[in-house]
Amino acid sequence: MSGEEAKYVLDSFAILAYLAEEEGADVVEDLLNKAESGKVYLYLNYVNLGEVYYITFREKDVNEANESIVLVKRMPIEFVQVDERIALTAGRVKATYSMSYADAFVVATAIVKEAKIVTGDPEFKSIEAQVLWIRQL
């Protein structure tokens, strides 16, 4: 992949919308198709993968949560480990913006990977210049 492809960090909101076929799922599906063909690059931090798991578990059940993770792991996404740089950047983001700690990891991953954030979560309104919105707020 050359340096010309667009790079995106998926938030759990985007993944959950896609899995549940909610508003914005078409935007995520389009990005997944483009990633499959090498036109874009997609990232998901492991913290946010855990977020997908716990939200699905809480709203549905453990079996659905497990199935969701199997589906996500098959997607053309690079999963990002939390290293010192991402952890400290997330801490800085959390200290600066009013957002959850998990969302701070989305922002930190986007900063480190020089990527846009894909979400529909209004918590990201304060950093709108870096966001691809999957639905109208």
CB 117, CB 110: distance < 8 Å: yes
Is 134 a domain residue? Answer: no
pLDDT attached to residue 37: 96
Whether pTM > 0.85 for this model: the answer is yes
Is 70 a domain residue? Answer: yes
Distances (CA, A) of 63 to 40, 69, 125, 127: 31, 10, 33, 35
Sheet architecture: strand order including 40-45 = 78-80, 40-45, 6-10, 116-119, 131-133
Is 15 a domain residue? Answer: yes
Is 136 a domain residue? Answer: no
pLDDT attached to residue 2: 46
Is 103 a domain residue? Answer: yes
Question: CB neighbours (10 Å) of residue 18?
Answer: 23
Range of the domain at 64: 6-124
CATH number, domain containing residue 53: 3.40.50.1010
pLDDT attached to residue 136: 86
**What tokens does 6 get?**
């667009």
What whole-number percentage of the chain has pLDDT above 90?
Answer: 89
Is 130 a domain residue? Answer: no
Is 90 a domain residue? Answer: yes
Is 61 a domain residue? Answer: yes
- pLDDT tens-digit map of 2-45: 445 799 999 999 999 999 999 999 999 999 999 999 999 999 99
Instruction: Please count the structural domains in the chain.
Output: 1
pLDDT attached to residue 127: 84
